[in-house]
Homo-oligomer: A and B are copies of this chain.
Amino acid sequence: MSFSTHTLDNGLHLVFEEIPRIRSAAVGFLANTGSRDEPKNLAGVSHFLEHMCFKGSEKRDWRKLSLDVDDLGAMWNAYTWWEGTAYFHWVQSDRLHESIEILADMMRSTIPHEEFDTEKKVILEEIAMYNDRPDSIIFDELIQSAFDGHPLGQSILGTYESVSEITRDEMAGYFERRYAPNNLTFIVTGRFDKDEVIDSVQAACGEWFSHASERDQDSPTFTPGSRVTRKDVVAREHIAFAVPAPPANNESSVTADLLAAYLGAATNSRLFWSVIQKGLADEASADYYGFSDSGLFYVYLSVDPTNAGQVMAIVRDELSGLANGIDSGALERAKTKAATSLVCSGQNGLHRFSQIVGDLSTNTPLKSIDDQLAEIDGVTPDGIADYLKAYPVTANPALIALGPMEKASW
């Protein structure tokens, strides 16, 4: 497994990861633009635009695009988040040239007028549907609260109101600024001939014009606070709270990952034994998420409202107890699980593509599996103690609660 890069004259950056002895490749584009890059009045435009990139170009209407992808036999998907938008195909290596041509064509969407309103309805239904699923939107709301007032605190989907108001021409303006070749990265991982890939990308993308498209923002400031919103559609109270953590490109991000697993992995973690195993909640998990210039360490609970106060007290005890020392056997288990997951997914093209996209979008150096295994291996109880001093998990959190409760009982 080895990485290399290439840059076209128009600024389009190409990233290659060769995985020997397989017959497939995952290929696609990362657009360095997501909800944090949206003007307030266009909240949700990145995600809406992702949908429109499937709706037609100069060469293809949506039906032809769908049929051509089907001809490839590609497994495909696209996703939008706070800091980027990604599009990929997973194909047999001998179909790469056609795949690149189609993906490049999608990156030059004409945002067809006749499909715009139809797709807007699809997006609005998606927003309405997610509003009925607290577990799906709670992390988005948590980030809005934690980074309140900063562009990173903007919702990925946007609001019903903002999406309703977006016009086709406003989207076209955003597209022109944000999908310039110097703000896109082409990625391929798996088996391929690098020179042939460069030729295919040059042929498909070489004539695109570059534009100024930097993300010029201050780093976000963390804002603690608590918001309890009643949602009668669910029987459980969904509670998520976060404290500051390092950005993804910080060397302690792997420590944050393992601390989260130690505290709140699905099995045999601290919260598993003190909350789940005692039957006090359906879910009690901890996780770390790193952005390019910030990060969050967070806990998520799904709990019968009558138990919420008791469970929150236990979780607080667990958080403050971390400073008393880490059980080295349990940490080793968490490390082994992380290493196994990494090794088992190392040949999975989509997994590799997603990881490269995540690293590129957060300015994190690309790492081989061996490098990542060494990082995991290097995490120690002492390292976690240092982490807890730098990023105390007992800090005043940002908290969101969605469910039957009117107000906090904790």
Asked whether, in the complex, the Cβ of B347 is within 8 Å of the Cβ of A70, the reply is no
A333 sits at the interface (CB 8 A): yes
Asked whether, in the complex, the Cβ of B344 is within 8 Å of the Cβ of A67, the reply is no
A22 sits at the interface (CB 8 A): yes
Asked whether, in the complex, the Cβ of B70 is within 8 Å of the Cβ of A337, the reply is yes
Asked whether, in the complex, the Cβ of A268 is within 8 Å of the Cβ of B343, the reply is no
Chain B CB within 10 A, most for which of A20, A73, A336 = A73
Chain B CB within 10 A, most for which of A23, A66, A75, A346 = A23
Assuming the contacts A333-B73, A336-B72, A337-B70, asked whether A90 and B267 have C-beta atoms less than 8 A apart, the reply is no
Assuming the contacts A66-B267, A268-B66, asked whether A343 and B71 have C-beta atoms less than 8 A apart, the reply is no
Copies of this chain held together in the complex: 2
A26 to B74, CA, bound (A): 26
A278 sits at the interface (CB 8 A): no
Asked whether, in the complex, the Cβ of B24 is within 8 Å of the Cβ of A336, the reply is no
Say which residue of B70, B336, B340, B348 sits within 8 Å of A348 (CB atoms): B348
Assuming the contacts A66-B267, A92-B343, A344-B90, asked whether A333 and B71 have C-beta atoms less than 8 A apart, the reply is yes
Q: Could you say which residues of chain B place their CB within 8 Å of the CB of A118?
A: none
Q: Mark A102-131, 1 if CB is under 8 A from B, else 0.
A: 000000000000000000000000000000
Asked whether, in the complex, the Cβ of A23 is within 8 Å of the Cβ of B343, the reply is yes
User: Which residues of A in the span 21-77 have a Cβ within 8 Å of any Cβ on B?
Assistant: 21-24, 66-67, 70-75
User: Which residues of A in the span 69-109 have a Cβ within 8 Å of any Cβ on B?
Assistant: 70-75, 90-92, 95
Asked whether, in the complex, the Cβ of A24 is within 8 Å of the Cβ of B343, the reply is yes
Asked whether, in the complex, the Cβ of A340 is within 8 Å of the Cβ of B268, the reply is no
A173 to B275, CA, bound (A): 37
Asked whether, in the complex, the Cβ of B23 is within 8 Å of the Cβ of A346, the reply is yes
A246 sits at the interface (CB 8 A): no
Q: Could you say which residues of chain B place their CB within 8 Å of the CB of A379?
A: none
A339 sits at the interface (CB 8 A): yes
Assuming the contacts A72-B336, A340-B91, asked whether A268 and B67 have C-beta atoms less than 8 A apart, the reply is yes
A349 sits at the interface (CB 8 A): yes
Chain B CB within 10 A, most for which of A21, A22, A336, A344 = A344
Asked whether, in the complex, the Cβ of B74 is within 8 Å of the Cβ of A347, the reply is no
Q: Could you say which residues of chain B place their CB within 8 Å of the CB of A349?
A: 344
Smallest beta-carbon distance A346→chain B, Å: 7
A4 sits at the interface (CB 8 A): no
A24 to B339, CA, bound (A): 11
Asked whether, in the complex, the Cβ of B73 is within 8 Å of the Cβ of A337, the reply is yes
Asked whether, in the complex, the Cβ of A74 is within 8 Å of the Cβ of B333, the reply is no
A324 sits at the interface (CB 8 A): no
Output the nearest chain B residue to A341 by Cβ-Cβ distance.
B75
User: Which residues of A in the span 363-392 have a Cβ within 8 Å of any Cβ on B?
Assistant: 369
Asked whether, in the complex, the Cβ of B267 is within 8 Å of the Cβ of A333, the reply is no
Asked whether, in the complex, the Cβ of B347 is within 8 Å of the Cβ of A22, the reply is yes
Asked whether, in the complex, the Cβ of A267 is within 8 Å of the Cβ of B336, the reply is no
Can you show 18 pairs from A to B with CB atoms below 8 A apart? A20-B21, A23-B346, A67-B268, A70-B268, A70-B333, A71-B333, A72-B336, A73-B337, A73-B338, A73-B339, A73-B341, A74-B340, A75-B340, A75-B341, A92-B339, A92-B344, A95-B336, A344-B349
